A = this chain, B = another copy of it.
Amino acid sequence: MDIIYLLDLIGTFVFAISGIRLAARTDMDVFGASVVGFVTAIGGGTVRDLLLDNHPITWMGDITYPLVILAAVPFTYFMGKKLNNFSKTLFIFDTIGIALFTIIGMEKALSLGLNPFMAGMMGMISAVVGGVTRDVLCREVPLIFRKEIYATACLLGAMVFYLGLELNLPENLNYLITTAVIITVRTVSIKWNWSLPKMKG
């Protein structure tokens, strides 16, 4: 499954960049930014693996993940404001990352025998915990709790993916459809400024 692995690494890289950039805006130094980048990229998978008692934690068993994250630090540093020109590209890979993290989390949970409901939760945890931790470390109220149909997109994707499994779709096709659904929901919701209703005070 080479393409999946490659996209997973790219998603990890882009997640790390989002952490590093927010840390930079919070006036952190290079070390702090590296840690925030790291936690953003691996936080979701780590919590999922701990909850599933799945050892070694994914990034601890494959040194490629930490290396990819470390590479994101000088990349972000030297690209600086030029990255603003690539915000669309970053957004696309960020969304692919979310989609893949959801799918990979679900698959891992299903392969360990969890029911589809729990597997969907594990998928969402994989996709959202990193960003939430990033925001807490930078003292923001987590972005995805206020704006964006980010998590809803993951949730819909998780349902579609499970449907694909039940229908015995070929694995690659199922990945493709799920990713397409997540990207579409997220892109359309941002374009048309959809948002979830506020919880009433």
Contact = CB atoms under 8 A, between A and B. Distances in A.
A121 to B, nearest CB: 7
Contacts of A170: none
Contact of A146 (B32, B144, B152): B32
B198 A27 contact: yes
Taking the full assembly, how many copies of this chain does it contain? 3
A194 to B, nearest CB: 11
A151 interface: yes
A53 B199 CA distance: 35
Interface of A: 20-21, 23-33, 35-36, 46, 50-51, 53, 55-57, 60, 63, 66, 76-77, 80-81, 114-115, 117-118, 121, 128, 132, 136-139, 141-142, 144-147, 151-152, 195-201
Contacts of A197: 29-30
A6 to B, nearest CB: 22
